[in-house]
Structure 1
C-alpha cells in the first residue's frame, strides 16, 4: 500500500509540474475512469442486462471524462467525441462478427486448472462479454487519436485561416499517419509486456508456433490488438473529415457575421 501511495504521489507531482491544471485533471480522471469500469463490471454480471449496451454507455462516459472533463467543452472536444462514437459503433459491428466467427469467448485450456473448483454457469453471454472486452480495450486509444488530430488541425487552421476544407482534411490525414504507426506499436508491445509470463509458460510447455497461435488466450489478445488497431486507423479519416467540415463551416459563418457587422 505504501508503494502504491508513493507512486501515485510521484505521478501526481509529475503530471501537475508538466501539465499544470490539465495534468491534475488527468490524474483525477484516472479514478473516474476506474470507477466507471467497476460499475460496468457490476452491471455486466446481471443476466438481465445487455453487456454490449452497458459497454457503449461506459465508452460514452469514459469519452466524456477524457475529453470534456480534461479539455473542457468546445468545438475541438465535441468533434473528437462525435468521431469517437461513430468509430465505436462501426467497430462494434466488426467486433460482433469477429467474436462469433473466431469463438474466442469464455476461458482457455490454460485457465482450466485454476477454474476447476468453480462453476462456469454464471448466466452471462460470453460472446457479448468478449466483444465488450475488445471495445473497452480500444476506447482509450481511439479518444487519444481523436483529440490529437482535432488539436493539431485547430492549430493548422489558426496559422492558416484561409485554408480550404480539402487541404485541412489532408492536413489531418497527414497528422493521423504519423500517429498511426506509433499507436499500433504501443498496442502491440502493451500486449507482449502484459503477457510476457504467458509466453514464457508456452515455452516451458514446449508449445509449437502453431499451438501458440491457435490457443484461445493468445488468439483473443491478438484479435483485441487488431481490432484496436483498426479502430485507431478508422478514427483518423472520420475525425479529419468531421473536424474539417465543422471547422470551415464555423470559420465561414464567423467571416459572414463580421462582414455583415461592417
Structure 2
C-alpha cells in the first residue's frame, strides 16, 4: 500500500472515530428536558426575566420631547420623554428615556417596547410604564434578507448550502450546547462535541463529499483540539475566573456553573469559523496545485501550498484582532483615558480574557495551516493523466471539477 492510499485510509478511519465519539458525546451530554426548557423558554424561578405580572407591551411614538439640558430645558421639566400609544390605554403614556435614545434619532411613528408594572395588589392605582427598548425588527429583517440575497446572488448554490449549514450550527448551539452547559456538562467537552457536529454537517453540506473536504474537516478537528488544549493551559496559568461582567454574575444565580470551564468552551467556539476558513482554503490549494502539476512530489506541493497559507495566516490574524477591536471599541476607549499604563491594565479580568481568547485562537489557526496542508499533500495523489483524487463533485454543477485517478502516484 503506497503513501497516498495509506493516508486516505488513516484519514477516513480517523474521521469515522471522530464521528462516533461526537455522537456518543451528544447522547451522553444530551440535556434533560427541564434544562433545555429552562434555557429555551426562560422557565424556572432563577431564570425569570421580570417579576410576576410584569409584561412588555409595544406602542407607537406620537410625540418626542427635547432632551434634558437642551434648548434651555432643565431636568424634570418633561424633557427627554416619549409619548407612546399603547393598546388598552385611553391616552398616550409618557415615559422617560435616556438621552442617547433621543440622540439615536427616534421620532414620531417609530415603535418602542415598554415595561408595564401592574399596580400594587389591593390598590386602585394605574399600571406604571417605563422605556425598555426600541423595536428594531424591521431593520434586522431587511438586513437579514439583504444578506441572504447577496449570498445567493454571488455564491449561488454553494451560498444556499452555506446558509443551511449556518442554520444548522445555530440550532446545535441554541438547542444543545447552551442547555448542556446550563445542565453542568463539561464546557470544553461540550465545545469539542458541538463544534465537531457542526463541522461534519457544514463542511460536507457546503463543499460536497470528497477527499478534499474530508482533509479540510480533519484539519479543522485537529485545530479545534489544539485550540482547546492551549486554551485550557492558558486559562489555568493566567488564573482567569471567567467572570468579567455582570452577565456572568446574573448567570451564576441559575446554578453551580464552572465559569473557567465555560471560558474554555468560548475559546473553542470563537475560533471555529476562522479555523474552518483556513483549512478549506489550504485543502483546496493543495488540490489545485496537484491539478496543475500532477507529477510534483508531495514535498513540492506542500511547500507551494504553505506559501499560500502564510499569506492567508497574515490576513486572518488581522481579521481576528480587528474584529475584537471593533466589538470592544468602547472598552478600549475607556482604558485609553485611564491614567495607568496599558501593560498594567492587561492583567484585568475583562481585558486579559480577550487577550487570551485572541492569542489562543490565533495560535490554533496558525498551527492548523501546516497540519491541514500536510494531510492534503499526503492524501492528494498525482498521475500523469490527471490531478489528485476528488471523487465526489462539489455542490455546484456549473463549475469545472477536477477529474482524477483513484490511484496514488
The equivalent position to 1:94 in structure 2, one of 205, 211, 230, is: 230
Larger Rg, first or second structure (1 or 2) = 2
**Mapped partners of 1:165, 1:43: distance in 2:** 43
- Structure 1's 149 and 57: CA in aligned 2 closer, same or farther, altered over 3 A? same
**As a proportion of its length, which structure holds more helix?**
1
- Mapping 1:45-194, distance limit 5 Å: 45-47=182-184, 49-108=185-244, 111=245, 120=253, 122-194=255-327
Query: Per the alignment, in what secondary structure is the counterpart of residue 346 of structure 2?
Result: helix
Spell out structure 1 runs of 4+ moving beyond 3 A: 114-121, 203-208, 249-258
- Structure 1's 16 and 46: CA in aligned 2 closer, same or farther, altered over 3 A? same
Match of 1:218 in 2: 351
**Mapped partners of 1:84, 1:118: distance in 2:** 31
Summarize deviations over 1:33-59 as a string: whole Å, max 9, x none: 222221211110112x22221111111
User: Does structure 2 conserve the Cα–Cα contact (< 8 Å) formed by 1:52 and 1:132?
Assistant: yes
RMSD over aligned Cα, in angstroms?
2.5
Summarize deviations over 1:124-174 as a string: whole Å, max 9, x none: 212211111111111111111000011121111111111111111112211
Query: Per the alignment, in what secondary structure is the counterpart of residue 240 of structure 1?
Result: helix
**As a proportion of its length, which structure holds more strand?**
2
User: Does structure 1 conserve the Cα–Cα contact (< 8 Å) formed by 2:296 and 2:382?
Assistant: no
The equivalent position to 2:371 in structure 1, one of 195, 214, 238, is: 238
**Mapped partners of 2:248, 2:372: distance in 1:** 43
Q: What's the TM-score, normalizing by structure 2? A: 0.58
Summarize deviations over 1:85-129 as a string: whole Å, max 9, x none: 122222322111111111223323xx35x7777755731212211
- Structure 1's 64 and 115: CA in aligned 2 closer, same or farther, altered over 3 A? closer
Q: Do residues 196 (structure 1) and 329 (structure 2) align?
A: yes
Structure 2 regions of 5+ residues with no counterpart?
1-136, 390-403
Structure 1 regions of 5+ residues with no counterpart?
none
**Mapped partners of 2:408, 2:252: distance in 1:** 67
- Paired residue total: 254
- Structure 1's 257 and 158: CA in aligned 2 closer, same or farther, altered over 3 A? closer
